Amino acid sequence: MPKRAVLFTNRQPIPFLKINCLRNCKTYQARKPLWFYNTSLKFFLNKPMLADVVFEIQGTTVPAHRAILVARCEVMAAMFNGNYMEAKSVLIPVYGVSKETFLSFLEYLYTDSCCPAGIFQAMCLLICAEMYQVSRLQHICELFIITQLQSMPSRELASMNLDIVDLLKKAKFHHSDCLSTWLLHFIATNYLIFSQKPEFQDLSVEERSFVEKHRWPSNMYLKQLAEYRKYIHSRKCRCLVM
């Protein structure tokens, strides 16, 4: 006798045969995985169809849907339901972010996913997420930046144009404690690379003290390494092959 296929949910397995018997019920809805609902909302992203609010950014407009924004963002929920001009206005200006960053922010609200093009874009999105208090998106951007920096070889770190100290200061200013703490350790553990960069001088006294204390390689290690090399070069013996 063939085994019945089983659909797993968060609670317990449900046989497909039991679900199939509901097809004749008027309230039955077709089974669709969770990703379907997330991606289906993307069809409305930046589309005028059924849009009831328009954001004005850098001289261009971006249509959106209040119901989705209110459900996904507490700041926008308060903005559209409170005694603010946005609650009665259709055209809403947005300041402090670029159109590309705001579209990435809306994409997260509509689809629960985001894919920054790089570290700079991720930091811009993190700032936007902090502005609208979407903490999960902020943590996603933090993780993206950390992962990108961790995967870089030393040669690329030395040659990259990204100002790591500026990144640290922005993370602190926008309350990204996880990222700012990690960046400080990252600078310390790559001391020989970042100490040669001009922006290293922009570290605060407190930050500089932390980096010097936790730097790698440490001064003690470098001193011992120099002594060891001096000892090796001072030996007059040769290696004998038996």
- Nearest residue to 180 (alpha-carbon basis) of 137, 210, 136, 219: 210
For range 29-45, the mean pLDDT: 63
Please check whether residue 11 lies inside any domain of the structure. no
Please check whether residue 103 lies inside any domain of the structure. no
Please check whether residue 41 lies inside any domain of the structure. no
Report the distance separating Cα 105 and Cα 92, nearest Å: 16
- Residue whose pair of structure tokens reads 């309350």 in the numeric block: 175
Please check whether residue 178 lies inside any domain of the structure. yes
Whether omega for the bond prior to residue 217 falls within 30 degrees of 0, making it cis, is: yes
Q: What angle do CA 104, 110, 111 make, to 5 degrees?
A: 85
Q: 3-state class of 15 per DSSP?
A: strand
Residue 19 has a pLDDT of: 38
Q: How many domains are contained in the chain?
A: 1
Summarize pLDDT for 59-91 with one digit per residue, the tens.
999 999 999 999 999 999 999 998 888 888 999
Question: What is the arrangement of strands in the sheet containing 91-93, beginning at the earlier edge strand?
Answer: 60-64, 53-57, 91-93
> What are the two backbone dihedrals, phi and then psi, of residue 225, each rounded to the nearest 5 degrees?
-65, -40
Please check whether residue 165 lies inside any domain of the structure. yes
Helix axes 119-131, 164-173, angle to 10 degrees: 10
Q: pLDDT above 70 covers what percent of the chain?
A: 81
- Residue whose pair of structure tokens reads 């909302």 in the numeric block: 41
Global pTM reads 0.77
What's the token pair of residue 209?
């003290």
Residue 41 has a pLDDT of: 87
Q: pLDDT above 90 covers what percent of the chain?
A: 66
- Whether the CB-CB separation of 89 and 78 falls below 8 Å is answered with no
Summarize pLDDT for 198-240 with one digit per residue, the tens.
999 999 999 999 999 999 988 788 788 778 888 888 775 555 5
Residue-number span of the structural domain to which 227 is assigned? 152-235
Please check whether residue 230 lies inside any domain of the structure. yes
Please check whether residue 162 lies inside any domain of the structure. yes
